[in-house]
Structure 1
Amino acid sequence: AADLALCRGFARGIYIAMPTQATSNAMFKRVQVDYLKNRRHKGKLNLQLVHGNALLAGMGEVREGEISDFKIADTDTGDTNTDMEAQSWFTAKKRPLLSPFGVGTIDQSLLSVLQTRHWFVRLFGLAGKVVIFDEIHAYDAYMVTILERLLQWLAEIDCTVILLSATLPEARRKALIYAYSGQNSSENKCYPRITLAQSRHYINQETNELIVCKEVSVEDSHCIYLNFSRNDLEILAGELTRKLEHGGCAAVICDTVDRSIEVFRYLQANMHETECLLFHARTLQVWRREREDEVLRKFGKGTKQHDGSYTNPDRPFRAVLVATQVIEQSLDLDFDLMFSEIAPVDLLLQRIGRLHRHSRTRPEGLEMPQFTILCDGNRGGAPPDTFGKNIEHIYDRYILLRTWLVVRGKAMIEVPAETEKLIEKVYGTDEEICGPDWIEALEKAKRNLVHEQGESQKAASRLLICPPCDSEDIVRQFNCELFDDDDPEVHTAIRAATREGDPSIMLVMVNAGTVLAAEPALDEVRDLLGHSTMLSYKGLYHELASNCEAPKGWEKNTHLNHARLMRLDENNRAKIGGYILTVNEKLGIVIEKESKDNG
């Protein structure tokens, strides 16, 4: 659809907005190799990777305010005769969206409607393009408030917008359509479907075109067989050992990084004949890229055969990947068996999408897709007092309760036939019939959710530019000039934050004896970024911001000016604020409270 819009002259470029940096990196390669290099365009194509760590992809940069001498540099091979390049002027901060082709995080597009100093540059960069948002079910009330304002502006500046999701609740679908078109969508077809709405423009409050909704024919549904288990390490290891007796690749998806590290350590210590891997975001960037590539290589789809099946020569005989939510979105992975901690039903369905994803020969005993939900809740009794403090910090208790109420009695799920039904049972207005104890728990959790969502919407609304209106009104109402979200010295109330939650800080972690240049050159900056991580840990943030070194030579560098430096001892450890941080290539960054045992 995006390519058709380009060919017919309805758009001047494409921007693909992904939920995370990992999914952006994977999509960037697909756009570069599978799309742009195969469309036989005559001339040079300028493609940019647009997120905070794009420099690590090997593209050049220029300082803010400079226009460097233009030199062609292919993003892949360095061959000056190829048709793809990342032109250096466009790689400076705030400029990448001006490039005709871009792949990046949704955050970069959301900044277009936050009251930052150069918001209009980003918005101008999107004007007239096809803007594709993937996995839009993944965003909370805070981000959706910003997204709806962005859709209003994208309609105004003649963007063709494509919103993609396999698990989007009906109410959310209608709200996004209204933001773009000004019309309420009354027509509804069964999932999977395509909805087409025309853009509205100021002064008109809505488009004159009717909204069209069409069903999409798909292959027959297939059954996913559900199992349930306590969230216990010994039980988990036993089940994995038994089911992988004849080989196979399994995934264990945890809701928090700390839990994933704990699970990985236990499985590695107790499953000696199984290859165990760990994949999460709390690690140094250089290791994360290596692990991401390894995961895609070992658990990706491989090569298609004449009979339509796939083979992957790098696929392990017997392996377990312990991961967080990083694998549930946009990464083309395929597992024989899957275990997952309880999560909202739409995210469980996303995880299921990585189970038996492609046609291939499966090991004995794993011919049918088996998905085990790890939850200590009673399948037939009262609601659990808690799903776990850490889990309920990530996901709303009300949605978890409704999810558990819906799935706990099921033995199988038909996908995609039951997808919409399950999502609406959790997110829709019709409540499941249940006993007094469940009603009380749901009502209490719902009150908390409604309050929290209201506060989130208010917080996001305070940061937004006004909707499309008269140009004089825009100038008069604007501008608070919010500061960079990654500056730890700026109060949260005046940050241009595209995501809600605990603040994060960029931490560069090097050995104690490392000598740093006073003003690092580009290669040195890239190396420092490779040894960095964005750390979001409630008990540590203020300690890191206040007590970690901010080298003076980094102040004028757009990639490092808000970073903090942490020097590690000979054991790759550092102590700060009552915590010990240990950097380990396999585990990532392990955070533990200081005690007599580890101090």
Structure 2
Amino acid sequence: MGGKRREPWGKSGELPGDFHHLAHHCADVAACFEAITALPTIRARLEAAAGAPLSARCLARLTALVFLHDIGKLHPGFQAKGWLPAERPALLRGHVAEGLALLMRLSSQGAGDAARVRLQLGLPDLDWWDDLHPFILASLSHHGRPLDAPAVATGWEAAAPSGTTYDPAEGARIIGTAMRSWFPDAFAGSPAADSPAAGLSADDDDNPPLAPRLQHLFAGLVALSDWLGSDRDFFDFEAAFRDDYIDTARARALKAVAAIRLDVEAMRRPAAGRTGFTALTGFAVPAAHQQATAEVPADRRLVILEAETGAGKTEAAVWRFARLFAAGAVDGLYFALPTRSAALQIHGRVNRLLERLTGPDGLKAVLAVPGYLKVGDAVGTALPHWRVRWDDEGERAEDELAARWAAENARRFLAAPVAVGTVDQAMLAALQVKHAHLRGACLSRSLLVVDEVHASDRYMGEILAKLLDIHLGAGGHALLMSATLGSRARTRWLGGTRAPDFAAAVAAPYPAVWAARGASKGAASASPAASPAASPTASADDPRARRKTVAMSLAPGWSAQEAADRALAAARSKAKVLVIRNTVTAAVATWEAVRAAGGDDVLLQLSSGPALHHGRFAAEDREALDDAVEKALSPGPERPDGGMIVIGTQTLEQSLDIDADHLVTDLCPVDVLLQRLGRLHRHAGVARPTGFAAPSCVVLAPGDGLEPLLAPRFENGLGAFQADSSLSGVYMDLSVLELTRRLVAGQAKWTIPDHNRLLVESALHEDRIEDLHAELGGGWSAYRDKLLGIIGAMAQAAHGVVVSAKAPFGEERFPGDDAAIRTRLGAEGARLTFPAPVNSPFGHPVSALTLPAHWSRGLDPAAPVTVERDGDALRVAVDGRRFRYDRRGVTKEGGK
């Protein structure tokens, strides 16, 4: 056929003929890379990963590689996707393998044609090109997984349909000429800079260092640049090539990088004058551990804060961020929580602190929890074609809406200047899953705060360790926080090889702030992380620094009736009672026992009826339940009169600002128990009923002790059940549980925080566990040996799925299907999306339910979901399985 010669397109719209020239798209992405790497913090991360300064010419050469990220789209088989059906070849092609065939000279077929295209690009077969293969591969891997170069480079095979007007070599000539014109520094210094074959010399000092950490970070930045450079809201299409288009691309890139707040300089200016503790938090005087956390020098990039629940660790973390942010050491904050419910709660607190730091029009925190679209107080609704409608869209300026870019896709959460979410969202940056490098590059600019670091199992702990290696290795900053971190875990995080003995572990200060070379003094210090720790002095006027002595007692059983009777007795004496059971099954049974005993009037109320709190509620109902719990156990003037029972699971342990008069809890490891005690008498000045002026706690334990669980046996969260050849459970370490039980039975008064260090080490330290085994005999040590073997297997399993930033990019093969890795990480089941929102048992419109992971095995996530009303309850069916949703939460039909 005749007619005008076709030009190569790089992006296409929904309408026929709506194209963006390939050279223009390549320029958009390269310009984004230029703008992003010009940011001081990103530049510092690149140089930390490289282990050396990077010259302007080196960055220009990296930019040229970014420019070629989609060069495989020159292939006629790809271009034909935009032609009329009659003009297309029989076999259409992609562009990744084709790009590899061009840039890495792996083509075995059509070699002559590929050589002609390479020559027109200005990339002849020179030795220096092979030296940069990891960077080329990283650029071509911008879709999310490292490419397997030998496997996917299937050749160029450039034969186009007879009579077409498209010539890939002509397109290559345009792109090659534009590349040399638009990025001249990348090709300067070679003997033949003006020739099509101009390139880099093999021994040029301005070549990118072949540092694996740099290669991995570069891969993530290319992916980020491609995401942004492909966004039509910022980069509109131009189909006809313009030799000055690079000016347009660069102007658009600068605007885009500022709009989505990768460039935060405008936010840094107002923050500079508001980094004082009082200005940021509203409290007059910081606690000693808060002061120490903030004042650890910026060159100590890993900090550990240990302080009791309710001691203001969140404020300490945001204060450290504020100081690092104002100083230009970080551009963002990712606050990682162990659970979705904790993230929901902390999100609001962080937003309030951000407003004090950067003003009402300043930084807003993204809620980085899949299934939610929330930035600050604004809530979004997902629309077709990956669009989002925000509930305040008509009230906000265009730049404010653009600043929510990172919130509109879970893969981009970590690109937000501030995000609050679950720890697994950060851990995905360290796993062999799609878009890991994108997440890691985005996270590198932020202070990574991991709250409740003690809550991770060994699998999660190994992944977190790898994440810290990647993050700190690229110059990032991290803060780990815990109320109850044992000495062995602390030693590991700080890079030590030998934990202290029991006496030394107990003698360590608490609260304390630790850095790489030791613990900081509790009070302000000129060199806080350089000297051994000393016991901090708490501020007398800081309510979060109070001591409390808890009366502890051990119940002889833990039936639902036992828990209900004790809760009812306290509630009838007008106490606010918190009941925390280890499993949903036990929580529901206890709630039903209270109701059967006529206790509806003292149970938590929501929507004119009794309620309880756990993780098996729809997201909309969980928010309402969180709010109801906080109001029922409020420490403020809205605290209701009379007795109240709030029953739930581990969802009540963290982040909710609640204050109970009395606690009834299942036996659990001492670190978890201390976390639960943090919800008891949390604030000063709260009016307490007679008999509850001092905090008190009843710990429910199996009536026949723990030894029967060695079988192994699983009961209400303790012990383990056999799963294939392994063991599974919630709290499986029976030795730690027995030592905790003995602490409760043998020490009637626990003073918090004075006893925290002693209590934690008395149950977690290996010296005490060995003493216990010597007393109780071989059955206990045999069980724990088996458990340690499982824990070791967990570590090995984690090692097999993490990214190694020390290996050259491309050496690791990511799995094609990473669902198993994600499932093991998040331990969350299928999300059942309803055909349309429907009113829940509490009267709230809900759109989806998330099942427990063990209920989701073998479930087809694409199967249609049906919803039927059964009175106030809902009956949900999917893939042959049926569930019921009522005031108890989600249950399987025929079971709980």
TM norm structure 1 = 0.78
Which amino acid letter does the alignment assign opposite residue 373 of structure 1? Answer: V
User: 1:54/1:455 Cα in 2 relative to 1: closer, same or farther (>3 Å)?
Assistant: same
Alignment of 1:498-517 (within 5 A): 499=825, 504-509=829-834
- Conserved? CA contact 1:115–1:482, under 8 Å: no
| Partner SS state of residue 104, structure 1 | strand
User: 1:403/1:444 Cα in 2 relative to 1: closer, same or farther (>3 Å)?
Assistant: farther
Task: Give distance in 2, aligned partners of 1:456 and 1:358.
Answer: 40
Which amino acid letter does the alignment assign opposite residue 856 of structure 2? Answer: Y
User: 1:387/1:198 Cα in 2 relative to 1: closer, same or farther (>3 Å)?
Assistant: same
- Conserved? CA contact 1:59–1:86, under 8 Å: no
What residue is the counterpart of 1:523 in the other structure? none
What residue is the counterpart of 1:52 in the other structure? 370
Task: Give distance in 2, aligned partners of 1:459 and 1:141.
Answer: 10
Task: Give distance in 2, aligned partners of 1:362 and 1:78.
Answer: 47
What residue is the counterpart of 1:371 in the other structure? 697
Does residue 1:15 correspond to 2:334, yes or no? yes
Q: In the TM superposition, what is the alpha-carbon distance from 1:323 to its structure 2 partner?
A: 0.6
Unaligned runs of 5+ in 2: 1-319, 519-528, 539-544, 605-610, 720-728
Q: 1:394 aligns with which of 717, 730, 739?
A: 730
Q: In the TM superposition, what is the alpha-carbon distance from 1:228 to its structure 2 partner?
A: 1.7
Q: 1:450 aligns with which of 788, 793, 810?
A: 788
User: 1:173/1:289 Cα in 2 relative to 1: closer, same or farther (>3 Å)?
Assistant: same
Task: Give distance in 2, aligned partners of 1:437 and 1:92.
Answer: 55
User: 1:124/1:316 Cα in 2 relative to 1: closer, same or farther (>3 Å)?
Assistant: farther
Which amino acid letter does the alignment assign opposite residue 92 of structure 1? Answer: N
Name the % identity. Answer: 23
Which amino acid letter does the alignment assign opposite residue 280 of structure 1? Answer: H
- Conserved? CA contact 1:192–1:216, under 8 Å: yes
Alignment of 1:160-559 (within 5 A): 160-178=477-495, 189-197=508-516, 213-218=533-538, 219=545, 221-229=547-555, 230-270=557-597, 271-276=599-604, 277-302=611-636, 312-359=637-684, 360-377=686-703, 388=715, 390-392=717-719, 393-398=729-734, 399-431=736-768, 433=771, 438-466=776-804, 468-469=805-806, 473-481=807-815, 483=817, 485=819, 492=820, 495-497=821-823, 499=825, 504-509=829-834, 530-536=846-852, 538=854, 540-542=855-857, 545-546=859-860, 550-551=863-864
What residue is the counterpart of 1:488 in the other structure? none
User: 1:184/1:26 Cα in 2 relative to 1: closer, same or farther (>3 Å)?
Assistant: same
Does residue 1:124 correspond to 2:441, yes or no? yes
Unaligned runs of 5+ in 1: 200-208, 303-311, 486-491, 517-526, 552-564
Does residue 1:87 correspond to 2:403, yes or no? yes
Q: In the TM superposition, what is the alpha-carbon distance from 1:145 to its structure 2 partner?
A: 0.3
- Conserved? CA contact 1:248–1:336, under 8 Å: yes
Which amino acid letter does the alignment assign opposite residue 45 of structure 1? Answer: L
Task: Give distance in 1, aligned partners of 2:511 and 2:488.
Answer: 16
Q: 1:6 aligns with which of 311, 325, 328?
A: 325
What residue is the counterpart of 1:561 in the other structure? none
Task: Give distance in 1, aligned partners of 2:474 and 2:549.
Answer: 44
Q: In the TM superposition, what is the alpha-carbon distance from 1:300 to its structure 2 partner?
A: 3.1
User: 1:397/1:164 Cα in 2 relative to 1: closer, same or farther (>3 Å)?
Assistant: closer
| Partner SS state of residue 247, structure 1 | coil
Q: In the TM superposition, what is the alpha-carbon distance from 1:288 to its structure 2 partner?
A: 1.4
| Partner SS state of residue 17, structure 1 | strand
- Conserved? CA contact 1:26–1:331, under 8 Å: yes
User: 1:578/1:226 Cα in 2 relative to 1: closer, same or farther (>3 Å)?
Assistant: farther
Which amino acid letter does the alignment assign opposite residue 594 of structure 2? Answer: L
User: 1:108/1:574 Cα in 2 relative to 1: closer, same or farther (>3 Å)?
Assistant: closer
Q: In the TM superposition, what is the alpha-carbon distance from 1:463 to its structure 2 partner?
A: 0.8
Deviations along 1:157-215, whole A, 9 cap, x unmatched? 2222111101011111111111xxx787879732211102279xxxxxxxxx9686454
Q: In the TM superposition, what is the alpha-carbon distance from 1:387 to its structure 2 partner?
A: 6.8
Task: Give distance in 2, aligned partners of 1:383 and 1:221.
Answer: 37
- Conserved? CA contact 1:115–1:496, under 8 Å: no
User: 1:40/1:83 Cα in 2 relative to 1: closer, same or farther (>3 Å)?
Assistant: farther
Task: Give distance in 1, aligned partners of 2:577 and 2:398.
Answer: 40
Q: In the TM superposition, what is the alpha-carbon distance from 1:269 to its structure 2 partner?
A: 2.4
Deviations along 1:435-460, whole A, 9 cap, x unmatched? 87723342122112101101111111
Q: In the TM superposition, what is the alpha-carbon distance from 1:111 to its structure 2 partner?
A: 0.3
Task: Give distance in 1, aligned partners of 2:879 and 2:416.
Answer: 43
What residue is the counterpart of 1:591 in the other structure? 892
TM norm structure 2 = 0.54
Q: In the TM superposition, what is the alpha-carbon distance from 1:351 to its structure 2 partner?
A: 0.2
| Partner SS state of residue 564, structure 2 | helix
Q: In the TM superposition, what is the alpha-carbon distance from 1:221 to its structure 2 partner?
A: 3.5
Q: In the TM superposition, what is the alpha-carbon distance from 1:273 to its structure 2 partner?
A: 3.9
- Conserved? CA contact 2:351–2:364, under 8 Å: no
- Conserved? CA contact 1:483–1:496, under 8 Å: no
What residue is the counterpart of 2:350 in the other structure? 31
User: 1:86/1:445 Cα in 2 relative to 1: closer, same or farther (>3 Å)?
Assistant: farther
Task: Give distance in 2, aligned partners of 1:484 and 1:387.
Answer: 30
Which amino acid letter does the alignment assign opposite residue 11 of structure 1? Answer: V
- Conserved? CA contact 2:635–2:659, under 8 Å: yes
Q: Which has the higher contact order (CA 8 A, sep 6+)?
A: 1
Structure number, greater radius of gyration: 2
- Conserved? CA contact 2:563–2:590, under 8 Å: no
What residue is the counterpart of 2:57 in the other structure? none
- Conserved? CA contact 1:233–1:263, under 8 Å: yes
| Partner SS state of residue 321, structure 1 | strand
What residue is the counterpart of 2:884 in the other structure? 582
Task: Give distance in 2, aligned partners of 1:576 and 1:154.
Answer: 41
- Conserved? CA contact 2:620–2:846, under 8 Å: yes
Which amino acid letter does the alignment assign opposite residue 576 of structure 2? Answer: C
| Partner SS state of residue 476, structure 1 | coil
- Give the aligned length: 525
- Conserved? CA contact 2:773–2:781, under 8 Å: no
Q: In the TM superposition, what is the alpha-carbon distance from 1:590 to its structure 2 partner?
A: 2.2
Task: Give distance in 2, aligned partners of 1:144 and 1:211.
Answer: 27
Q: In the TM superposition, what is the alpha-carbon distance from 1:42 to its structure 2 partner?
A: 8.8
What root-mean-square deviation, in Å, do the aligned CA atoms of Structure 1 and Structure 2 show? 3.6
